[in-house]
Structure 1
Amino acid sequence: MTDHQDGPVKSITDLARIAGVSVSTVSRALTSKGALNKDTRRRIQELAAHHGFQLNVAAQNLRLGRTGAIAVLLPLGHERGQHLSDPFFMAMLGFLADELTERGYDLLLSRVLPAGDDWLDNFIRAGRVDGVIIIGQSDQGAVLDRTAEHYNPLVIWGAHAPRNRYLTVGTDNEEGGRLAARHLLERGRGRLAFFGNVAVPEFAARYEGFLDALPIGARDRVELVHAHVTPEASHRVAADYFAAGHRPDGIFAASDVTAMSVIAAAAEQDIRVPDQLSVVGFDDVPLAQLSNPPLTTVRQDIQRGAALLVDLLCKRLSGERPESIQIAPEIVRRESS
């Protein structure tokens, strides 16, 4: 390798002069961020290796007012016992990590138990990240609205509502509920129950869609069973429900975790699924296929959702003003119904 180097390469400017390109091009080549011709990227990386030059990314980010990190926050205002090990969270976080890595960002993860109305503003003021992705609105809609008024790089995974001031990516939860209801009706089920915490906006929308697809006379007969989303809590609620003598022939659960807990509790009471009871979940997490029996569920495309969250956040970071996106759900028929 030959070049016209007259002295040691001490800075990115020196390397840019040797390579005959701009400083920003060298930065993109050495950080693997941004669009760049593959041959150009390789040539600059080889030059840097030849001269023993390493880019101080932290110093560069400091100069540019960037951190190189994106926060993924999980506010648990309504379900404080929920953990990151939840199958839905695990799936979503894996896809988000992949997408952010592709964009050259680090992921800063935090499980938040809101103790006041200023938790999000306090986090942002700390200056640790370039943008924020929030998984689930929980009961924090007012907080999100207020922060969105003054902080642009913020995207939320959750149900879209016209009143929201913040940007969302999420599944059409009402349509998901309608799909579940139609499926149970097709299976000839008429004694129905819904398991879920309707204080959660997404779960409330699933419940409303479920009722909407039922015949008018059947809506008032649906049992609403308040169930938390953790496996232990939802299993306890289902076990007590069946032990009290309740015998629906169709259950729609607000999440796959709750649905699988219902199936386990039913088995303990010798209620055969699906012969005596059809169960439908929501999410289609990887564990749904391994349930016994495999779980019929309303699938939301978590992988596509993660890609859209990152894409919309990057657009916000570049000054664009994208609109919220709603993803269509689909019913996945398995043996539990």
Structure 2
Amino acid sequence: MGESDLKGRGGGVRTITDLARLAGVSPGTVSRALAGKSLVNAKTREKIEKLAREHGFRPNQMASGLRRQKTGVIGVAIPLGHDVRQQISDTFFMTLLGLLADELTDRGYDLMLRRVVPLSDEDWLDRFIGSGMIDGVIVIGQSDQFDRIEDVADGYLPMVVWGNHSEGQRHCVVGTDNRLGGRMAAERLIASGARNLAFLGDTAPIEFAARYAGALDVAERMGVLLRVLPTHLAPDQLGDEIAAHLSTHAGAIDGIFAATDTIAAACLAELHKRGVAVPGSVRIVGFDDLPIANQTVPPLTTIRQDIHAGARGLVDLLLRRLAGEETESLVLPPQLKIRATA
């Protein structure tokens, strides 16, 4: 999009993304420049401010416009940069979305859901918050979009993210201490007699990477093998990948830490088909404590994250930020739920 294209629009530049394209910088740089952040060099700031004046774009125009407008709608975005074939019908997403819908309805808000594949839509977050259709946004999962979310957080207050908290990050997060949960999972597998462990999951998403890192902490300390068997949550991959892993490593694994309960349940089903006893030959620990964890045969030992408390926290913090308050992140403690698989 060239400068003449933007000038030809009625009302000039409408969003931070428009201005960023015109200036040849990222939307985050525009946000920081208009907010007077010292991270942007003087020459770039002057260029952005000049373009903003020429096109009638005022600093914080987007955020103030949304506050003025009060649409009564909260946007919920699910970025799937790491696993583009994953579906929002995934049990975890549906559980959290249902709880968020209840919390938002109780507070007088409607919910607008957007599934995003960042590979084909790099400016997905800027366009969503600049659409004029929402008062604020909840992002479910950081996926591989940490930097994109950080950039937007510099200039946009009413955003809260479900994900993993890292020291020094700028965006506000609600989520579980995933690394601690990973440690608890590995400790339980080892305590139940496992000595050859496997992590089944995708270590690209930040939350899953933290779970694996926690398990690796324990495995290295205890002198136990922990291998990574990449496993995706897309329905057309999950079953085949688990079957291939179990065929390749038959008899070599006696403990499985599954990145989610969904993966754990699929492992149980495949082991049952193969006549492998759980927990006699293989122990399994999942993560989430979704309703399915109590319904598997045998019932699943898992790491519980309090999704109910998480949904309440996401909405509470977002409404406080809508009121102009800077808020801290909320990190929830994981809990080991011992059932029959480990």
- Bin for the TM-score computed over the shorter chain: 0.7 to 0.9
Secondary structure, counterpart of 1:314 in structure 2: helix
1:303 lines up with 2:308 in the alignment: yes
**CA-CA distance at 1:214 after TM superposition:** 2.5
Which residue of structure 2 lines up, in the alignment, with residue 46 of structure 1? none
**Conserved? CA contact 2:67–2:135, under 8 Å:** no
- Partner amino acid, structure 1, of 2:289: D
1:86 lines up with 2:90 in the alignment: yes
Q: Distance in 2 between matches of 1:192 and 1:245?
A: 11
**CA-CA distance at 1:124 after TM superposition:** 1.3
Which residue of structure 1 lines up, in the alignment, with residue 115 of structure 2? 111
Q: Distance in 1 between matches of 2:249 and 2:203?
A: 23
Unaligned runs of 5+ in 2: 1-64
Q: Distance in 1 between matches of 2:283 and 2:66?
A: 57
Show CA shifts across 1:67-95 (max 9, x none).
00001110111111111211101110111
Give runs of aligned pairs for residues 145-294 of structure 1, distance below 5 A.
145-216=150-221, 218-219=223-224, 221-247=225-251, 248-294=253-299
Give runs of aligned pairs for residues 52-131 of structure 1, distance below 5 A.
64-114=68-118, 115-131=120-136
- Partner amino acid, structure 1, of 2:95: A
Q: Distance in 2 between matches of 1:62 and 1:283?
A: 34
- Partner amino acid, structure 1, of 2:87: H
Larger deviation, residues 236-245 vs 269-278: 236-245
**CA-CA distance at 1:218 after TM superposition:** 2.8
Q: 1:232 to 1:257 in 2, by over 3 A?
A: farther
Q: 1:260 to 1:230 in 2, by over 3 A?
A: farther
Larger deviation, residues 133-142 vs 262-271: 262-271
Secondary structure, counterpart of 2:169 in structure 1: coil
Unaligned runs of 5+ in 1: 1-60
Q: 1:130 to 1:182 in 2, by over 3 A?
A: same
**Which TM-score applies when normalising by structure 1?**
0.79
Q: Distance in 1 between matches of 2:204 and 2:268?
A: 23
Larger radius of gyration: 1
Q: Distance in 1 between matches of 2:67 and 2:262?
A: 46
Identity %: 47
**CA-CA distance at 1:116 after TM superposition:** 3.8
**Conserved? CA contact 2:83–2:232, under 8 Å:** yes
- Partner amino acid, structure 2, of 1:99: E
- Partner amino acid, structure 1, of 2:109: Y
Count of residues paired in the alignment: 276
Q: 1:62 to 1:172 in 2, by over 3 A?
A: closer
Larger deviation, residues 242-251 vs 132-141: 242-251
Q: 2:321 aligns with which of 306, 316, 321?
A: 316
**CA-CA distance at 1:283 after TM superposition:** 0.4
Q: Distance in 1 between matches of 2:207 and 2:289?
A: 15
Show CA shifts across 1:191-217 (max 9, x none).
111101000100000001011123536
**Conserved? CA contact 1:231–1:257, under 8 Å:** no
**Conserved? CA contact 1:158–1:202, under 8 Å:** yes
